[in-house]
Structures are given as C-alpha cells and as structure tokens.
Chain A
Amino acid sequence: MNLTLKIWRQKSPKDQGKMVDYPVSDISEHMSFLEMMDVLNETLIAKGEEPVAFDHDCREGICGMCSMYINGEAHGPDRGVTTCQLHMRKFKDGDTIYIEPFRAKAFPVIKDLSVDRSSFDRIQQAGGYISVNTSGNTQDANAIPIPKDDADLAMDAATCIGCGACVATCKNSSAMLFVGAKVSQYALLPQGQVEASQRVQNMVKQMDDEGFGNCTNTGACEVECPKGISLTNIARLNREFLSAKASSKN
C-alpha cells in the first residue's frame, strides 16, 4: 500500500521542530509499524537525508522502548499492543498517518520521535523496589504463602513495561497509571509491606517533582495501555497514599 506520513522532525532538544510529509510506497500489510519506518529510513538514507530517529529495542512488545503517537493515539489505533506490535494491516491504502513523539513536559524530545523517559527511572529509584539482603541466606520468595487472587493482581500490575503511553495519552500528562502499577505490584504482596509507606510517599513526590500532571480519572490511559493496566491500580495508589500519610511518623 501507499501512504502519506506526517512525521514530527526535530533536530535536537532545543530545536523548534515541525511536521514533515513523507510519501511511502509498496508497504506490505504484514509489516509491523516499525518495519514500515525502517523502509522509510532506508529511502531517506539512500537519498542522503537524515533518517527519522525513533526508539525501539525488543520489537516484541516487552521492553517498553518503542513509543510514537500514531493518528492521535499512543501506540496507534490497535488495542493492547505496543508500536512494534502494531501491524500495517490496521491501515488502508492511501491513508495519511500522523506520527508524533509521546508528548509531556516530563518526557522531553531528544530527537524526532525519540523522547527522554528517564523521569520514569527516577520515580522507580525513589521507591519502586524492595530492599533484599543478598547475604546468601535470603528466604525463598515461594516459601511465603500468598493468596492466588493477590498474586494474580500483583502480576497484572507488574506487567507494566514503563512505556509511558499512559502519560502520552492523558490530557493532563499524568503518570498515575504507571506509578499506580508500580506501587500496586508491591502493595499486594507481603514482601512489599515493610517499605510500603515510604514507597508510596516517595514515588508520588518524585512523580510530582518531575512535572507530570494530575489525574482526573478520564480513563484514557487504561484504554491505550498496551498491557491493559487497570484504573483499579490508581485507586489503590490513592488508598496507599492516604493511609501512608495518615499513619506517617515523619
């Protein structure tokens, strides 16, 4: 199929940036969206032009590296998939496709479609872990009985790949689905209890310091999240935060 791509081009973080039109032809419907971008880049390189910079790594929907806001939706029009797993069969011959970077103040553009999501790393570093002694006599995690329902919910939360589609989609650029997932995966398990109060307070503080917006419960994030992370995780974040503040000693 033949398509017209409208792509955000921005040379550097300081550059103004603008949308540029690129026609692409002979795109197979079996290609992934990133393969289509590879085809475009090959033609650009052949013409001596600068290829379009975009993030990717695993290309199988697990690393969370690919991004792109495609036709007004994070990871494009398909549900439950990342951009690397989006197929060209979702588009029609002659379509015009808008391709923009994930936009948020806390995700500054590095170049073209590539954005800096290290704000997510800093939120994780603020509390998205449990401190385990690796002295050699660490208790086997499976030795602690955990109700199946809780284990399942924790696992669901833990499937968040930190892609940032929730932020990109949210009209407020809120990171609460991500933080909700990261808080929940520990809040539901006994191992997470020890640091629960500090965790939620520190992660929310870091999230606010990074300049993410405030959730207004539109629910757009859960629809666009490639891993189907549910809004119940944000509700749990709110509960955890409230009880941490109410019982906090410092």
Chain B
Amino acid sequence: MSLIKEIFTSSVGRKIAMALSAFFLMVFLLQHLTINLTSVFSEELFNELSHFMGTNPVVQFILQPVLIFGVVFHFVMGFALEIKNKKAREVSYAKNNGSANSSWFSRNMIWSGLFILFFLIFHFKDFWVPEMVYKYVQFKPSDPNRYYHEVVEMFHSPLRVGVYILAFVFLTLHLLHGFSSAFQSVGANNKYTESLKMVGKVYAILVPLGFIFIALWLHLNG
C-alpha cells in the first residue's frame, strides 16, 4: 500500500500514473473508432457490435467502470498537477517567450483537456445517459436493431456535428503532445523515440479525423 501511496504522492510517480491512464485511453479510442467505423459500411455489423457492447456483462460491469475510472482519473490528476504546477511559480514573468522553446500544444494541454472534458459531458448526455436510462431505469426490452438509427438521429443536427468536429480538433492538439509525452513519462526514450514521435503524429491526426469522417458521413448519408 505504501508503494501505491508513494507513487501517487511523488512528482515522478504521478507523471507515470498520468501516462498509464493515457495509454489506456488511447487504446480505448482505437477500439471506439473501430466500432464506429463499421457504421459507415454495415448497419448490421454496427448494430451487432453495439448490442454486444451494450449487453455483455463483462463489458457493462467490468470494462465500463474501469473506463469511467480511467477517464475520471486522467482528468482529476491532470487538474491536480496543473494546480500544483501553477503554485510552483508565484510571480509570473513580465515577458515570456514560450514559443522559442516548446510547442503550443505542449504548453496548453490543460486547455485542450478542458475542452475535451466539456465535450465528454455533452457526449455522455447524448449517448451514455439515454442508454443507461433505457436499460437500467426504464428496463425497456433489448432491441438489437435500434443503435444505428439512434446514431443517425443524433447526427442530423448540424450544430451537434460542428461541436463534435471541434472537439476532435482539440483531441488532435492534445494527442500531438500527449502520445509521445506518455512514452517519455514511463521512461521510454531510446533509439525508437524519433519513429515513435512520427507514429504519435499519425495517431493524433488520423484517429480524430476518423471520428470526424464518421460524424460527417452519418450526417450526410444517414
């Protein structure tokens, strides 16, 4: 127990914990994207997968709580660190030339993160809350064919599509630093680092772009 405590109270330990939760969330994003992509080419497959995810007890009662914990942990720890870091400099510089030595997105992770948090609240209200109410409050009968239509319905609104696109742009900004940063935090800085940074850039652009494509596709063709 004291090991866990020491890790969560020390600066290096927190940074490693932050990175581990980031890895978990990045894997989750890939899984989420894969399932969503099926909606573009096969209504049946999308419904089938959604039904499985929505009814399988392992997914519902083990993976889902773990995911929620991962998300909450990443945000809470991110804010806690930001507050601590702000306190580490009481008087700010009259002139600070941050762009001379670091990227904009690396210095503004808290802002891209905050925007993503607001989006997630919105996203939960759109999909997760109705889903929970449907299944665990109203106890409606399970309908394996409802998912595709629900999603299409959601993306009718151009305003919603706009908000989603904007959120994914922020996700790209967050990942452009976050992907490679997570590897550095767990101590992986070696001969593969330069290639890994490239992979990070590709991930940071392609994954959110995939989500944007799906939102637009459903809006236009759904």
Contacts and interface: CB of A to CB of B under 8 A. Distances in A.
A72 B95 contact: yes
Contacts of B10: 204-205, 208, 241
A214 B11 CA distance: 6
Interface string B76-106: 0000010011011111111111101111001
Nearest 8 interchain pairs by C-beta: A72-B97, A213-B88, A235-B189, A239-B187, A172-B85, A223-B101, A173-B88, A213-B85
A214 B100 CA distance: 21
A103 B85 contact: no
Dominant SS at the A interface?
A: mixed
Interface in A235-249: 235-239, 241-242, 245-246, 248
Given A71-B95, A73-B100, A103-B92, A218 B107 contact: yes
Contacts of B106: 216-219
B12 interface: yes
Chain B CB within 10 Å — which of A69, A212, A213, A237 has the most?
Answer: A213
B187 A103 contact: no
Dominant SS at the B interface?
A: helix
A207 interface: yes
A246 B4 CA distance: 10
Contacts of A171: 85, 98, 102, 107
B6 interface: yes
B16 interface: yes
B101 A214 contact: no
Interface in A196-246: 204-205, 207-208, 211-220, 223-224, 231-232, 234-239, 241-242, 245-246
Contact of B187 (A205, A213, A214, A235): A235
B7 A103 contact: no
B36 interface: no
A213 B15 CA distance: 11
A100 interface: yes
A68 to B, nearest CB: 12
Contact of A215 (B11, B90, B94, B180): B11
